[in-house]
Amino acid sequence: MKARHRRFGIVLVGMAALGVAAYLVLTALEGNLSYFFSPTEVANGEAPGEHVFRLGGLVEAGSVQRETGELRVNFIVTDMAQRVKVAYDGILPDLFAEGQGVIAQGRMGPDNVFVAEEVLAKHDETYMPPEVAEALEAAGKMGERHPGGKSL
């Protein structure tokens, strides 16, 4: 056994140990590394009820209601399984739209309405020219080229 074989062994064992350590740390941290809670997690009581947390999901189609003359807007965030009502008083990002992914930061109100302090738009990983988007829309195939929804 030459010295370089021994060093190769040390590097290999070191890297393996490091990999196991990283795996254990990540497993232990699991949920804490998530940026937001889904409506299903909120419904199951996994979200911290009294504290500020982030809620993520899709804006339900047809659920956006604006109050005239005010910034206040109400909408429903869904993950296709559960729905959470959200109230927000502020400026929405450009990408905010019905059917679009959003992440709202705020806390649960007593009437089960999530009062948001900040709303961020989550972009999906689909990039295409508008003509293609229109063609897909017309053919009713938008959902298939649109994996952003299910990744939320």
Partner 1 sequence: MASRLVNWFKFSSPATFFPLARKIGVVSTVIAVALIAVGLYMSFFVAPTDYKQGEGYRIIFVHVPASWMSMFIYVVMAGWAALGLIFNTRLSMMMAQALAPTGAMFAFLSLWTGSFWGKPMWGAWWVWDARITSELILLFLYLGYMALRSAIDDPRRADRASAILLLVGVVNVPIIYYSVQWWNTLHQGSTIRLNEESTMDDTMLIAMLIMTLGFWAYSIAVAMSRLRTLILERERSANWVRELASRGG
Task: Tell me, by CB under 8 A, how many residues bind partner 1.
Answer: 44
Position among 50, 70, 94, 111 found at the interface with partner 1 (CB under 8 A): 94
Element (H, E) at 41: helix 39-43
Told to check if 34 binds partner 1 by CB under 8 A, we report yes
Which two tokens mark 130?
Answer: 């508008």
d(CA 135, CA 140): 9
Task: Name which of 152, 140, 125 is nearest 58 in CA terms.
Answer: 152
Binding letters toward partner 1, positions 98-117, x by CB under 8 A = -----x--------------
Told to check if 152 binds partner 1 by CB under 8 A, we report yes
d(CA 24, CA 129): 43
Told to check if 33 binds partner 1 by CB under 8 A, we report yes
Residue type, position 150, single letter? K
CB of 143 to partner 1, least distance (A): 12
Integer CA distances (angstroms), 132 to 119, 142, 145, in order:
29, 10, 11
Residue with smaller CB distance to partner 1, 13 or 65 = 13
Told to check if 65 binds partner 1 by CB under 8 A, we report no
For partner 1, the binding residues (CB under 8 A) are 4, 7-8, 11, 14-15, 18-19, 22, 26, 33-38, 56, 92-95, 103, 118-134, 145, 147-148, 151-152
